[in-house]
Structure 1
């Protein structure tokens, strides 16, 4: 008397016999070594068996097997990320240093109120409070292009004020590289 088989076992077995060699070749080509490819192949087989009767309902068992194999390769790759041990005497980065652009907060706080009300409002709401330009445009009754133009002009005026009064300078990429301080001196 034979033991009863799990539902779908015969479907899995037929698909496995038809595609095992092809799957192993695929995994061997992409895995780090032959042993890893064999391990991944066993993983794919176990996952197919776990599908049970659902495996029989697949329209394309070969495609399913290859998708599971690709996912297994991706998962294995994530686990193989190199781990670099850091020395115990590694100095922590200084915590009191801020990027030059971050040190502009005091100057911005003093110069923003000096902008016109429309400039001040759009810079405050879009750049500092995080409101989208689209949401600002809707709230202010403006078209999106008009709001974008207003924000661009307001940023330019604020930039000019920061250059003039805070001694802001830019690197060749246009990023803030340094400034003279909150009073420009």
Structure 2
């Protein structure tokens, strides 16, 4: 049984509007995105094969519309420089992405991999990193910064990210299969 667009509108409009407004600060743009989502729903409702998955299908359309909005606006969603991986995090998106990030770190050149692992995972301060590696503080800072930059580039090549208004990762969408590839490679090693 196919659900009507009108019924979906009545049931999901307010929820979708809140969902989009949390991710897009400009109110008018958020409303435009919600309208776009309902146009996509109307045009693609016949592709929904399982009505039990209606809600997740709708929210996936909304996430894709938000990503398209940011692409059109050419606003780059950047990881903060102090981004840390917290495997104990309650954030589901981060939990799903963590195995890929760990594998990406393994693909960094050794000096950057070492710097990232020691500072981000072992919790060393950059001064402690410099002392333990026998390099200058400037050299340690440079390695950490370059490692983060390379990791960020790898992440942005693979995924488009969604953040809430305070910069917390709320979701991501794979641009290609490279995130999955990193997880698969990790499982084989």
TM-score by length of 2: 0.40
Q: Quick one: higher RCO (CA 8 Å, sep 6+), 1 or 2?
A: 2
Larger-gyration structure (1/2): 1
Task: Name the structure where helix makes up a greater proportion of residues.
Answer: 2
